[in-house]
């Protein structure tokens, strides 16, 4: 910021001053002017050396500062975990190590400047001494008037004063350049980060940008919600497929449940639908149209997402809800709040809809944040809905409220549900059991129980809560060590 605001102005003024002073000096006395410029090659060489050296040192300093800031953020965000595991001493020692790295990097930067700045001053003094020596001899021999020498010495001071300012500006530029590189690393990312496509050989994923020729009109109401995956494969890393030839069909209004162990490919499957990633082979259709033919804005406005960890911005409840529909009226807001079973806790807050939820919704409970997330999705009114473990982190009573809200949300929408609780998926039109990126079983709840495969085993082992939800029942996410050994756990 200082480089852009002050540096450019100071640099232009200093350069103009040098040019004007040099022109006047040559006009008055060519020999003295040449003597005054003798140190300039040394000044230029010193500036270039400092530029190359300081840039690397400032870059190391910025990286060390970034590491310390990241550690501070983690420690402050996880202060409860640090205290509960009695890790204060270890984290303090870790902070000291990172802080010491920053201190050493800063000392190196200061050492380089401590060598560069006096050296430049010495070179400037050499020029002044040459002018004084030659001019003094000329005055003694009568070749020059003393007044002319004094005037030339003043011009010499005017010459090296902006040069000194340019040295200081060079220091500022190198510091800003190192900081700017960190910013431009982000700015140089593709305009749609996270959307990837396969390279020409289909070997691994690469970042791509949204095509400016794609339509951007937001008309999700025109999408009925017919979803079809046709032989879809995807891998994050070459040779390690995350999805292998996945095919299924979800007609408009159907509910598809995804079940599988951690790393089975459930989240990857839904991320492809939203085009956070692009599949390597196969095709995904919405309303019989390949999703790549939809503009990203059109596609994503047709899809609502409710995740396990509901993210709320540090603003009011109203502001967070309006993300679903910026022009919504109060009547519409309260209607979705009621549908999400959120009115009761909102009315208890001092400012109601204007209550500030804090950073990441820290002032609200997990269940309250989840219900606001559902209300936000209801307000958006998308034809396609993705539920990613939406009831996994709440108690049984809160789960019942959330499940009621989800039932309303899923009505007349094509829904893809990732869950391990039977209460969430038992009524799904189709359950897909994934294992290592493949669909190994598919069917309704009753059909899969009769099949007696992996899904049935998971139910019997109570990794899925196969009984009706009761407050006396233990949370479904509690997994026994025996079950873990069998590697049959579904992800939370």
Q: Measuring CA to CA, which residue among 210, 231, 233, 230 is closest to residue 280?
A: 233
The domain ranges of the chain are 2-187, 192-302+385-394+409-492, 304-381
Cα–Cα–Cα angle for 49, 51, 54, rounded to 5 degrees: 100
Which is more confident, 252 or 203?
252
CATH for 2-187?
1.20.1560.10
CATH for 192-302+385-394+409-492?
3.40.50.300
Name the residue with tokens 């509910």.
Answer: 255
Crossing angle of helices 8-28 and 146-187, rounded to 10°: 150
What pLDDT, on the 0 to 100 scale, is given for residue 227? 92
Cα radius of gyration rounded to whole Å, the chain: 34
CATH for 304-381?
3.40.50.300
**Measuring CA to CA, how many Å separate 50 from each of 57, 113, 114, 160, 281?**
10, 8, 11, 18, 52
**Local structure of 303: helix, strand or coil:** strand
Task: Please write down the long-range contacts of 161-166, taking CB distance under 8 Å and 24 or more positions apart.
Answer: 161/17, 162/13, 162/14, 162/15, 162/17, 162/18, 163/14, 163/18, 163/43, 163/120, 163/124, 164/120, 164/121, 164/124, 165/10, 165/14, 166/11, 166/14, 166/15, 166/47
DSSP bridge partners of 439: 434
| Cα separation, 56 vs 178, whole angstroms | 8
Asked whether the beta carbons of 430 and 250 are under 8 A apart, the reply is yes
- Classify residue 145 as exposed, middle or buried by CB count within 10 Å of its CB (0-12, 13-18, 19+): exposed
Q: Measuring CA to CA, which residue among 384, 370, 258, 253 is closest to residue 320?
A: 370
192-302+385-394+409-492 and 304-381 share one CATH topology? yes
| Cα separation, 361 vs 369, whole angstroms | 7
Where do the H-state alpha helices sit in 8-77? 8-28, 30-36, 40-77
| Cα separation, 481 vs 290, whole angstroms | 44
State the DSSP H helix or E strand holding residue 317, giving kind and residue range, or none if neither: helix 317-321
Count, in order, helices (H) and strands (E) of the chain. Answer: 18, 12
What pLDDT, on the 0 to 100 scale, is given for residue 207? 39
Which is more confident, 250 or 2?
250
Which is more confident, 304 or 193?
304
In sequence order, the 6+-apart residues with CB closer than 8 A to the CB of 34 are none
Q: What are phi and psi of 228, to 5 degrees?
A: -140, 120
Tens-digit pLDDT profile for residues 21-49: 889 888 888 888 888 888 888 888 888 88
Average pLDDT of the chain is 78
| Cα separation, 129 vs 36, whole angstroms | 9
What pLDDT, on the 0 to 100 scale, is given for residue 151? 84
Asked whether the beta carbons of 393 and 308 are under 8 A apart, the reply is yes
**Local structure of 418: helix, strand or coil:** strand
Tens-digit pLDDT profile for residues 221-259: 468 889 999 999 999 888 788 999 999 999 998 989 998
Tens-digit pLDDT profile for residues 66-110: 889 889 988 887 888 888 778 888 889 999 999 999 999 999 989
Tens-digit pLDDT profile for residues 257-300: 998 887 888 888 999 998 888 888 899 999 988 988 888 888 88
What pLDDT, on the 0 to 100 scale, is given for residue 285? 92
Longest pairwise C-alpha distance within the chain? 118
């Amino acid at each position: 910021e200082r480089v852009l605001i002050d540096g450019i102005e100071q640099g232009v003024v200093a350069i103009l001053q040098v040019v004007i002073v040099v022109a006047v000096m040559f006009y008055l006395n060519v020999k003295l002017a040449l003597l005054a410029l003798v140190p300039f090659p040394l000044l230029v060489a010193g500036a270039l050396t400092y530029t190359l050296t300081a840039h690397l040192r400032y870059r190391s300093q910025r990286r060390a500062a970034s590491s310390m800031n990241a550690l501070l953020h983690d420690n402050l965000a996880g202060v409860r975990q640090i205290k509960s595991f009695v890790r204060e001493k270890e984290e303090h020692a870790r902070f000291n190590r990172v802080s010491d790295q920053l201190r050493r990097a800063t000392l190196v930067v200061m050492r380089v400047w401590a060598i560069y700045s006096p050296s430049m001053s010495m070179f400037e003094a050499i020029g002044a001494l040459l002018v004084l020596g030659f001019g003094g001899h000329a005055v003694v021999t009568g070749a020059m008037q003393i007044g002319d020498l004094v005037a030339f010495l003043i011009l010499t001071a005017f010459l090296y004063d902006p040069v000194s300012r340019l040295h200081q500006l060079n220091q500022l530029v190198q510091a800003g350049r190192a900081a700017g590189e960190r910013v431009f690393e982000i700015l140089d990312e593709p305009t749609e980060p996270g959307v990837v496509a396969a390279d020409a050989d289909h070997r691994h994923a690469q970042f791509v940008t949204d095509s400016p020729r794609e339509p951007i009109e937001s008309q999700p109401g025109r999408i009925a919600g017919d979803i079809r995956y046709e032989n879809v494969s995807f891998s994050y890393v070459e040779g390690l497929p995350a999805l292998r030839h996945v095919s299924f069909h979800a007609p408009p209004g159907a509910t598809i449940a995804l079940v599988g162990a951690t790393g089975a490919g459930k989240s990857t499957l839904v991320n492809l639908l939203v085009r956070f990633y692009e599949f390597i082979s196969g095709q995904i259709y919405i309303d019989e149209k390949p999703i790549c033919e939809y503009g990203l804005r059109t596609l994503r406005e047709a899809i609502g997402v409710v995740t396990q960890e509901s993210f709320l911005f540090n603003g009011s409840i109203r502001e967070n809800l309006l993300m679903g529909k910026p022009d919504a009226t109060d009547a519409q807001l309260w209607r979705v709040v009621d549908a999400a079973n959120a009115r009761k806790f909102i009315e208890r807050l001092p400012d109601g809809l204007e209550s500030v939820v804090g950073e990441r919704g820290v002032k609200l409970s997990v269940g309250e944040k989840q219900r606001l997330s559902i209300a936000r999705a209801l307000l958006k009114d998308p034809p396609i809905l993705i539920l990613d473990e939406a009831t996994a982190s709440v108690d049984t009573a809160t789960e019942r409220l959330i499940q009621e809200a989800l039932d309303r949300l899923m009505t007349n929408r094509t829904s893809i549900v990732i869950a391990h609780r039977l209460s969430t998926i038992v009524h799904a039109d189709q359950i897909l059991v994934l294992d290592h990126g493949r669909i190994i079983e598919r069917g309704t709840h009753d059909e899969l129980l009769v099949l007696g495969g992996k899904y049935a085993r998971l139910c019997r082992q109570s990794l899925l809560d196969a009984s009706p939800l009761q407050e006396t029942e233990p949370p479904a996410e509690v997994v026994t060590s025996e079950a873990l050994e069998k590697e049959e756990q579904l992800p939370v």
